[in-house]
Chains A and B, each alone.
Chain A
Amino acid sequence: AQSVTQLGSHVSVSEGALVLLRCNYSSSVPPYLFWYVQYPNQGLQLLLKYTSAATLVKGINGFEAEFKKSETSFHLTKPSAHMSDAAEYFCAVRAGGYQKVTFGTGTKLQVIP
């Protein structure tokens, strides 16, 4: 069994401030982990993914995430928020094929000018 918990359904940051979106997972086998971004009225777009090659994963738009096995976490960060980062972000865990992906409930990021 696997699960994903995203802490905070809404996060607000000021433009230029650090973005930190939290994700904790559970998995009975070594997982693949993903972060997706969803802009209003659009589908999900892959930001980055962890596939056991490196614990610090860099993605698009300046985002990165660090896999911490001891903490079962895969938090998403960006050093400086931009207005265009306002969107909903989903963490997901996969243990097996893509039919076994479990998505988190999402975190809406608001960027305040």
Chain B
Amino acid sequence: NAGVTQTPKFQVLKTGQSMTLQCAQDMNHNSMYWYRQDPGMGLRLIYYSASEGTTDKGEVPNGYNVSRLNKREFSLRLESAAPSQTSVYFCASTGWQGQETQYFGPGTRLLVL
């Protein structure tokens, strides 16, 4: 049971390049989330998916798109990266194991030059 996995771990992009961050969970959870973490700002929700086939905007969705490919996988795409998108990105999922709990992946560190 790997929990929540993310790829890549690190990425450097040039302004205007595109990339997709991958996330997968093997806990059979319905809900998945993408957050970004910036110094002094805590975590902010970019997008979430309450169930397979649905996605909704979070607090900071501009510049991002998401795809809930199946129940396991939830990807985040940057179509045209900007320096303001330099951040650490975390994927998470929630499910019931006795009580509802949120689990986080190890993060993807993205630097946009």
Interface residues of A (CB under 8 A from B): 4, 9, 41-46, 51, 90, 97-99, 101, 103-106
Q: What's the tally of chain B residues with a CB closer than 8 Å to chain A?
A: 24
Interface residues of B (CB under 8 A from A): 4, 31, 33, 40-45, 48, 50, 56, 58, 90, 92, 94, 99-102, 104-107
- With A90-B42, A98-B94, A103-B43 already in contact, the answer to whether A43 and B4 are too (CB < 8 A) is yes
Measured between beta carbons, the chain A residues less than 8 angstroms from B105 are 43
State whether A105 touches B42 (Cβ < 8 A): yes
CA distance A103 to B43 in the complex (A): 6
Measured between beta carbons, the chain A residues less than 8 angstroms from B44 are 103
Number of A-B contacts (CB under 8 A): 50
CB distance from B31 to the nearest CB of A (A): 6
Measured between beta carbons, the chain A residues less than 8 angstroms from B56 are 99
CA distance A94 to B100 in the complex (A): 12
State whether A98 touches B42 (Cβ < 8 A): no
Where chain B touches its partner, the secondary structure class is strand
CB distance from A53 to the nearest CB of B (A): 10
CB distance from A106 to the nearest CB of B (A): 6
If A43-B92, A98-B33 are given as contacts, then 9 extra A-B residue pairs at C-beta distance below 8 Å, sorted by A number, are A42-B106, A43-B104, A44-B90, A44-B92, A51-B99, A90-B43, A98-B102, A99-B56, A101-B45
State whether B90 touches A103 (Cβ < 8 A): no
- With A51-B99, A98-B33 already in contact, the answer to whether A106 and B42 are too (CB < 8 A) is yes
Most buried by A among B43, B56, B58: B43
State whether A99 touches B104 (Cβ < 8 A): no
Measured between beta carbons, the chain B residues less than 8 angstroms from A106 are 40, 42
State whether A103 touches B104 (Cβ < 8 A): no
Most buried by B among A42, A43, A90, A98: A43
CA distance A43 to B33 in the complex (A): 13
State whether B101 touches A46 (Cβ < 8 A): yes
Measured between beta carbons, the chain A residues less than 8 angstroms from B45 are 99, 101
